[in-house]
Structures are given as structure tokens and as C-alpha cells.
């Protein structure tokens, strides 16, 4: 296995014992993009949220609403119109949202992700982690690193499943930035953009949310 996304780790977890091996084998094959889980399905809304978080300028969202609305009007296929509408729903949810509420303090600064490893070995499984933005800040004379990851799924994830995103995000930051920064648990933030909910790694440590990533990866390794 070259890599597995957190989305597919959760999909594996949802499979029956009998179908898990087949599912893992299918990941290494070239597959047609399905109606919802394809990589570009949510890109219109998630990219706008990421840009807005980076700049704290909601104009990115307003511009995207206009562009997606035009695409929606021109489209004739119901499936495509549904995709545009779902992206619009997310954009409208955050059109007037104050993104700076996610900034830890005034020393907040975006870090470039270029040249950083997106595939991290966790429990001997290569896991792909793709945060929306990585940032630094200083508190009590300590330089911290954090990240935010905007996530969408039609049928949704449980809190524990969102926690798996936060767990992998923490490990990503540890692997890529811990030599220079201390990882902020509270700022390993995963945002459920469909339900306007948030999960962070501190919740895992506090056992508010169960940690499922390790056991799931062990099961994946056993089924390879």
C-alpha cells in the first residue's frame, strides 16, 4: 500500500470483517470517481474556506458563491446541480463567519506546507494527511504550531471518526514541525463544515472523544 487517506481509514472501519481485505485491495486500483467521495466534489467550498482562513477576508467566499451559482444555473444534470448546491450550502453557512475566532492569538501566522511530508507512517501504515492550513503562534514565550482541516461528508462522521482526523493531524504536525515548534493540542482543529461543528486533539487527550485511529490502523495492517 502506497498510502491511505483518513477518509478511507474510516471507510475501512465501517466495513464488515469479510469485506475489509477486498476494500484495501481496491484502493490500489485505478477507480472511477464516485458521486460523492471523489477528490473534487467539495473543492469549491473547502478551497474557499481555506483561503478565507488564511487571509481572514470573506470576499473569497462571496466570490466563490457567485462563481458556483453561475455553474449551478448552467448545469443541466441533476447530479451535478446537487453537487453545486451542497457546496453552496457550505459557503452560505460561512459567508459572514468570523474566521479569526479560530486564530489562537494576535501572533498567529500561516506556515507554508511546501516540502512537508503529507504521507506519514503511523503504526507502520502510510497515512496521507492533508490539512487545509498550518499556522504558528507564540504564547508564554513558547512557539507553537497548529493546523485546521475542513472536512465534509454527505452521510457525516461520528465524533470519534472526526477524532481520527484530529489524531492524524497531530501526528502530521509532530513529524513535520516539532523540531522547531511545540504542537498545540487545542489547535489541531478539525471542522465539520456541514454541521458547523469542531473537534480538536485535546478532546482525545481528555477522553471526551474516544481514540480510534490506532486500533483501526492495526486492523488495516492485519488485513494487508
On whether both 132 and 192 belong to a single domain, the answer is yes
**Out of 23-32, 39-48, 57-66, 97-106, which region has the weakest mean confidence (pLDDT)?**
23-32
3-class state of residue 196 by DSSP: coil
Q: What is the rounded CA–CA span in Å between residue 153 and residue 132?
A: 16
Predicted pLDDT at 2:
87
β-strand partners of 147: 134, 188
Q: Which of 105, 99, 85, 3 is nearest to 44 (CA)?
A: 85
Report yes or no on 37 lying in a domain.
Answer: no
In a domain, 53, yes or no: yes
> Residue 173 falls within a domain, yes or no?
yes
Domain co-membership, 50 together with 82:
yes
pLDDT digits (tens, 9 = 90+) for 120-170: 999 999 999 999 999 999 999 999 999 999 999 998 999 999 999 999 999
Domain interval for residue 77: 43-99
Question: Same domain, yes or no, for 93 and 115?
Answer: no
Regarding whether 157 and 73 lie in a shared domain, the answer is: no
Q: Is residue 35 part of a domain?
A: no
pLDDT higher than 60, residue 38: no
Question: For 69-124, how does the pLDDT look when each residue is reduced to its tens digit (9 = 90+)?
Answer: 999 999 999 999 999 999 999 999 999 999 999 999 999 999 987 667 899 999 99
Are 113 and 157 in a shared domain?
A: yes
Amino acid at each position: 500500500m502506497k498510502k491511505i487517506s483518513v477518509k478511507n481509514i474510516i471507510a475501512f472501519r465501517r466495513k464488515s470483517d469479510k469485506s475489509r481485505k477486498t476494500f484495501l485491495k481496491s484502493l490500489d486500483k485505478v477507480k472511477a470517481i464516485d458521486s460523492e467521495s471523489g477528490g473534487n466534489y467539495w473543492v469549491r467550498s473547502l478551497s474557499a474556506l481555506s483561503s478565507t482562513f488564511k487571509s481572514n477576508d470573506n470576499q473569497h467566499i462571496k466570490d466563490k458563491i457567485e462563481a458556483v451559482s453561475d455553474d449551478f444555473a448552467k448545469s443541466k444534470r441533476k447530479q451535478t446541480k446537487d453537487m453545486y448546491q451542497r457546496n453552496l450550502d457550505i459557503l452560505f453557512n460561512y459567508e459572514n463567519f468570523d474566521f479569526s475566532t479560530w486564530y489562537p492569538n494576535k501572533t498567529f501566522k500561516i506556515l507554508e506546507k511546501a516540502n512537508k511530508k503529507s504521507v506519514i507512517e503511523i503504526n507502520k501504515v502510510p497515512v496521507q494527511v492533508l490539512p487545509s492550513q498550518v499556522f504558528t503562534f507564540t504564547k508564554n514565550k513558547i512557539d507553537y504550531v497548529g493546523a485546521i482541516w475542513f472536512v465534509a461528508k454527505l452521510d457525516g462522521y461520528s465524533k470519534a471518526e472526526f477524532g481520527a482526523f484530529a489524531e492524524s493531524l497531530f501526528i502530521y504536525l509532530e513529524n513535520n514541525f516539532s523540531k522547531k515548534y511545540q504542537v498545540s493540542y487545542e489547535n489541531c482543529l478539525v471542522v465539520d463544515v456541514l454541521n458547523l461543528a469542531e473537534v480538536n486533539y485535546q478532546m482525545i487527550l481528555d477522553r471526551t472523544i474516544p481514540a480510534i485511529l490506532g486500533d483501526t490502523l492495526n486492523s488495516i495492517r492485519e488485513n494487508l
